[in-house]
Amino acid sequence: LHFRPLAPISVTLLLPGFLCQCEPPVEVPESLIAWTGACLSIPCLYRSCVLNPIRTKKLTISSLTWYLNPGYDFEKKDFNGTVLYKHNATISPAVTERVRFLGDLERDCSLQLSDLRASENGTYGLRLIFSSTAQKPEEKKWMTKINVNVMGKRESPGLPCRNRLKTHSPPHPTPWGVLPRTEQDSTPPAWGSRRRVYTH
């Protein structure tokens, strides 16, 4: 018997279910160390698996919220906590004067806090809700958490906040830049292994 070799086939599916293959949907550091009075920048990028669907309008971010110390409310079936930023929503001026969202709904989801306070030590959470525009609409929800350890003031003043963050990928992964635990509503927490170094 003789068999003909099959030609390689490459197929990309953007159908209901493809969101399940994109966990977690963002790249952020697992933890950060900051000092009171300094500028805290939390770098955040959407993963490539969601970039093209967003750009081709086959996937939309219907909700984006940054929390400080988020907790899950089982009655409301949603997260609550101190809202630092929420897309298309009005936040308390006491918060907005020190918080800046550096991202967008297409590539970047970074957050920046100036004049950091000791009370802002803890867990920062990014709540994302994605919607698919396929024939059978699909919605997925994620909460990505980053641990921030706020320490006492440094002897030398830190750098002031800048409007943007620059990123680069190192030739060798660094241990602190791993992806954090990401909790999806319908599945157990997922761990990632891709790494990225961020600098001002």
Instruction: Supply 146's token pair.
Output: 């980053």
pLDDT of 8: 38
Q: What is the pLDDT of residues 77-134, one digit of tens each?
A: 999 999 999 998 888 787 888 999 999 888 899 999 999 999 999 999 999 998 887 7
Query: Across residues 146-151, what is the average pLDDT?
Result: 96
Q: What length does the chain have?
A: 200
What percent of the chain stands above pLDDT 70?
66
What whole-number distance in Å separates Cα of residue 122 and Cα of residue 56?
36
123 CB-contact burial (10 Å; exposed 0-12 / middle 13-18 / buried 19+): middle
Measuring CA to CA, how many Å separate 192 from each of 5, 21, 22, 66?
Answer: 36, 12, 11, 20
Q: Is the pLDDT of residue 164 over 70?
A: no
Q: Is the pLDDT of residue 70 over 50?
A: yes
pLDDT of 88: 86
pLDDT of 142: 92
pLDDT of 157: 59
Q: Is the pLDDT of residue 33 over 60?
A: yes
pLDDT of 138: 79
Confidence of residue 158 (pLDDT cuts 50, 70, 90): low
pLDDT of 23: 75
**Of residues 114 and 56, more confidently modeled:** 114
Query: Across residues 24-46, what is the average pLDDT?
Result: 94
pLDDT of 132: 81
pLDDT of 161: 76
Domain annotation for the chain: domains and CATH numbers? 24-199 (2.60.40.10)
Residues 6+ apart with CB under 8 A from 37: 115, 116, 153, 157, 158
pLDDT of 93: 80
